[in-house]
Structure 1
Amino acid sequence: MSTAPHLPGTPVPATPATPATLPALLAHRAAAHGERTAVVCGAQRLDFAAWQARSGALAAALRAEGVRSGDRVGLCFGTDRWAEYAVAFLAVLRAGAVAVPLSDRASPAGTAHALTDAGARLLLHADGGPRPPGVPDGVRTRTEATATATAHHPADPADPAIPGTPGLPEPDPDAPAQILYTSGTTGTPKGVTARHANLVHGCTLDERRRPLRHSRTFLHAFPVGTNAGQTMLVNALNAHAACVTAPQFTPARFVRLIAEHAVGSVFLVPATAVELLASRALAAAAERGDLDTVRLVGSTAAALPQPVALALDRAFGKAQLVNYYTSTEAAPAQVTLLFDPARPDSPGRPASLAELRVTDADGHPVAPGEPGELWLRSPAAPRAYLGERDGAVFRGRWVRMGDLGRVDADGFLHLLDRERDVVKSGAHKVSTLQVENALHAHPKVADAAAFGVPHPVLGSVVAAVVVPDGELTAAELRTFLLDHLAVHELPATVHFRTTLPRNEGGKVLKRQLRRTLTTPDTPEATP
């Protein structure tokens, strides 16, 4: 591509280094290299030119149907339809509306709550699929095919337009762009609103500065409707590497995709990491050298148990294990932690502590090394709960994470527990993360969760639910734990299960486990 020569003495035209919105970023990438693959999901391939064209056509159809700036539009897609979801999400933003991403794994009640709470009157879902269960009667449903086929009228020509997309409104960076619902592990999911400027923060128009330049492709299996999934969508738009999505997570399929696409970056949550490490497929792939292309293994959504982190570090011997510490409320704020196998008690040392604060209950910073509440500072327009002000979580650009932790003298972050999960047993406070680390260290424990249950004398005691890998008794487990935990940290009861209940983001539903303890589906043991 040729450019006009610059004449000495004349000002150099300024080129913006950052896009104002995600639609502007897509338009840039489609113009720069439209034929480059952006998203791969099964047999589906989506390049930037097709992403731009299809999202533009769908956006125009939405405008023709009456969708206007600020309207809320639900999006319900499975992990096998990530390419369709990518088109639909950008179409909603290009139409000037607010996207409400939902997972097809959500319960009908959860879908109904989100659509009603957000005030959505339209839902986009996968082509060829039925109307998702739980959609309220007053919400219209469309697919990309049905919406574009029934669009007879162009969008309002009076709308200010993005260059190259006449008739579509140019999104205001300060306008709402997305409402994402929290996991709801402890209560009713809350809608978290994000503006366009928030979603596009950290993105670039400079090809030399694109993230994941060490990778030709990156791989994930995150569902739509989660913060981790939305991060992968932004990566697909912004990264040098193409996004490969596993249509459905199984260890065999996941490692096969690593080899097939020469994957350089792998993104997991603790639940998929545990399942992957327990599989024969991973060991076989390592023996064949199929994992040698991987240079980065990222984990997010929850804390990795120490034994799981060490096992991942060994399995992906040529990769750096990175823990990403963030939340739906805090994004794009996050702390990137490089895991050090010599310091497995910590998820890693942040490159900078400027955006992380450890405070007491009143919000005052604590002394270095002291435990306290963790806060992250958003570098962009901060998010907020839909329809409410919560000073306990959002204070200016600072967001309360709901975790307890400390930063040691060497700058390593230590996550002590979720505030709500700390077990107050008699005179002691017990970290459930500490108990889970000890449980995962047993070679016959495939998965485990610890939490507090009421006790008539101590107030609360620790209970554990364990998924065994082979034959395991409570007595064996107790003997093992005596060398890893203090007496007050030992689980008062151990319950054996075949699986742990998890939400669509992979987090253990401890609330559900507490409810089912009185009617276990496998024998309960009291060590």
Structure 2
Amino acid sequence: MSLTLCDLLRARARAEPEREAMAVSGTGTLSFGAWEQRSTAVAAGLLRRGVLPGERIGLVFGNADWLEYAVAFFGVLKAGAVAVPFSDQLGRADLEARLAHCGATLVLRPGELPTAEGEPAPPGAGDLAQILYTSGTTGRPKGVAATHGNLAHGWGGRRRPFAHSRHLAHAFPIGTNAGQWMLANAIGAHPAVVTLGRFTPGRFARMIEQYRAGTVFLVPTMAIELLAAGAHTRSDLSSVLLLGSAAAPLPGRIAAELTTAFPKATIANYYTSTEAAPAQTVMLYDPRRPASVGRPATGGEVRIATATGEPLPAHTTGEVWMRSPTATRSYYGDDAGTGEVFRDGWIRMGDLGYLDDDGYLHLVDRESDVIKSGAHKVSTLHVEEAVYQHPDVVEAAAVGLPHPALGTAVAVAVVGAVDHTGLRAFLQDRLAPQEMPLHLVTLDSLPRNHGGKVDKRALREVFR
């Protein structure tokens, strides 16, 4: 019999009812026993209100509401309904469009959770559990549907992950794939999961010190901000033995600097997508392969192939495909899109890359971000890696802009006190002529979505 996250929560609540499962720094904690009891009451309350199996229920919560969100999410699942998580930072029009797309019949917010007495029937592993919307940084956001079995895959074994830690610290937003991964960690991993209501480098570093967190997860943006602010020099981060970066590529220079900021930590880069989870690759930082995102983990597979799925040899750039170790996800209400991306257990990642002789995956670019400049194809990731090597660059992002002769030209936005003439001279020996930025701009910050990814569509508008 396949387990569900509801099964796992029930088992931990019975075995360790008083044990802390989650905490929001400065706000409160949630034990396994309370999580189980409160979410069961919410499920009963939803059923009393007439919620039927398979109904989609929107969950709109802020990062300060992680504990109540955790209760609401499991209340929806236990009621047999489908949870559709959103950050409260999402714009009203975008939220309404997503709710309409999935046909949500109810929206829950902090302080609005119904409760009642009762013990709902448990959902099955093949039942739909969650619809999570993609970030939409490269196109229209899509609702990715996952079953209970997909969400629970890999959890429930005898050895709980991250056993070296009493606390796992993160700052991932609600409504993201990384945030949902932390929710599963709170049930299936050894440490209690702690987060904070609003990320700032100083607050995050102080939280790590306060909880003596042995495991830390962040997105590259947060790592860059933490290093730039020098927060690691004002807090004791020596408890951290594993620092994981997820949700976007981690620049090689930043990974190297993190090894100094977290002197006892192994730096790990995780690569997956909302569509591919739980398949992923993991890369422990290696100066010999600073830009690699690693090899497959959690029973999945990776291959480089053509658009039709034909495998390509090592060192040949092609589409990145990942194979799920369990039932794959799908696009909700989009059979055509599902057929394009999900094929026989394999998922097209939308990235271009290659495998080296040892099977390590190297990303070249998002397929939609590749700049076709004249007769050349330019990788924005390669351009960004070169720009990041300049010591005065704090952040960088490259995009393509229309050009009357080349078709598309390279444009780079940087954050930091960088002289443009000096930066161009610095890049002369690091980039080919077609890779050199024709446009340079310095910004106070890069435009990002609520998940921390650079919004390249918004960045193009900045240049325009």
2:450 to 504, 507, 521: 504
Q: Tell me, what secondary structure is at the counterpart of 1:347?
A: strand
Q: Which residues in structure 2 correspond to 1:90-239 (within 5 Å)?
A: 90-127=74-111, 143-144=112-113, 147-148=114-115, 151=116, 166=119, 168-204=120-156, 206=158, 209-239=159-189
Q: Tell me, what secondary structure is at the counterpart of 2:293?
A: coil
Q: Is it true that 1:478 corresponds to 2:424 in the alignment?
A: yes
Deviates more, 1:494-503 or 1:402-411: 402-411
Give ranges in structure 2 of 5+ residues lacking alignment.
none
Question: How much has 1:354 moved relative to structure 2?
Answer: 6.2
Tell me the distance in 2 between the aligned counterparts of 1:345 and 1:69: 45
Kindly indicate whether the alpha-carbon contact (under 8 Å) linking 1:337 and 1:351 is maintained by their aligned counterparts in 2.
no
Kindly indicate whether the alpha-carbon contact (under 8 Å) linking 1:337 and 1:350 is maintained by their aligned counterparts in 2.
no
Q: Which residues in structure 2 correspond to 1:428-507 (within 5 Å)?
A: 428-468=376-416, 470=417, 472-507=418-453
2:42 to 33, 44, 58: 58
Question: How much has 1:440 moved relative to structure 2?
Answer: 1.2
Kindly indicate whether the alpha-carbon contact (under 8 Å) linking 2:59 and 2:73 is maintained by their aligned counterparts in 1.
yes
Q: 1:311 to 1:348 in 2, by over 3 A?
A: farther
Q: 1:44 to 1:499 in 2, by over 3 A?
A: same
Match of 1:139 in 2: none
2:291 to 331, 345, 362: 345
Q: Which residues in structure 2 correspond to 1:318-329 (within 5 Å)?
A: 318-329=264-275
Q: 1:57 to 1:219 in 2, by over 3 A?
A: same
Q: Which residues in structure 2 correspond to 1:238-249 (within 5 Å)?
A: 238-249=188-199
CA RMSD of aligned residues (A): 1.5
Tell me the distance in 1 between the aligned counterparts of 2:289 and 2:347: 27
Q: Is it true that 1:276 corresponds to 2:226 in the alignment?
A: yes
Question: How much has 1:312 moved relative to structure 2?
Answer: 1.3
Q: 1:55 to 1:509 in 2, by over 3 A?
A: same
Q: One-letter code of the match for 2:422?
A: E
Kindly indicate whether the alpha-carbon contact (under 8 Å) linking 2:279 and 2:296 is maintained by their aligned counterparts in 1.
no
Match of 1:36 in 2: 19
Q: C-alpha deviations, 1:415-472, integer Å up to 9, x for none?
A: 111111111111111110011111111111111110111111111110011111x3x2
Q: Tell me, what secondary structure is at the counterpart of 1:102?
A: strand
Match of 1:10 in 2: none
Q: One-letter code of the match for 2:74?
A: L
Question: How much has 1:349 moved relative to structure 2?
Answer: 4.6
Q: Tell me, what secondary structure is at the counterpart of 1:218?
A: strand
Q: One-letter code of the match for 1:85?
A: Y
Deviates more, 1:359-368 or 1:171-180: 359-368
1:80 to 57, 64, 69: 64
Tell me the distance in 1 between the aligned counterparts of 2:191 and 2:331: 33
Tell me the distance in 1 between the aligned counterparts of 2:299 and 2:58: 37
Q: 1:440 to 1:220 in 2, by over 3 A?
A: same
2:4 to 21, 28, 36: 21
Identity within the alignment, %: 53
Q: One-letter code of the match for 2:286?
A: D
Match of 1:46 in 2: 30
Question: How much has 1:343 moved relative to structure 2?
Answer: 2.5
Kindly indicate whether the alpha-carbon contact (under 8 Å) linking 1:102 and 1:225 is maintained by their aligned counterparts in 2.
yes
Tell me the distance in 2 between the aligned counterparts of 1:350 and 1:173: 24
Tell me the distance in 1 between the aligned counterparts of 2:199 and 2:40: 31
Higher gyration radius (CA)? 1
Kindly indicate whether the alpha-carbon contact (under 8 Å) linking 2:279 and 2:322 is maintained by their aligned counterparts in 1.
yes
Tell me the distance in 1 between the aligned counterparts of 2:285 and 2:355: 15
Kindly indicate whether the alpha-carbon contact (under 8 Å) linking 1:221 and 1:268 is maintained by their aligned counterparts in 2.
yes
Q: Tell me, what secondary structure is at the counterpart of 1:248?
A: coil
Kindly indicate whether the alpha-carbon contact (under 8 Å) linking 2:317 and 2:354 is maintained by their aligned counterparts in 1.
yes
Match of 1:522 in 2: none
Match of 1:251 in 2: 201
Q: Which residues in structure 2 correspond to 1:377-388 (within 5 Å)?
A: 377-388=323-334
Q: One-letter code of the match for 1:457?
A: A
Match of 1:420 in 2: 368
Q: Is it true that 1:294 corresponds to 2:240 in the alignment?
A: yes
Question: How much has 1:351 moved relative to structure 2?
Answer: 6.1
Q: Tell me, what secondary structure is at the counterpart of 2:310?
A: coil
Question: How much has 1:284 moved relative to structure 2?
Answer: 2.5
Q: One-letter code of the match for 1:89?
A: F
Question: How much has 1:205 moved relative to structure 2?
Answer: 5.2
1:394 to 322, 332, 342: 342
Tell me the distance in 1 between the aligned counterparts of 2:29 and 2:52: 30
Match of 1:140 in 2: none
Kindly indicate whether the alpha-carbon contact (under 8 Å) linking 2:218 and 2:246 is maintained by their aligned counterparts in 1.
yes
Kindly indicate whether the alpha-carbon contact (under 8 Å) linking 1:406 and 1:415 is maintained by their aligned counterparts in 2.
yes
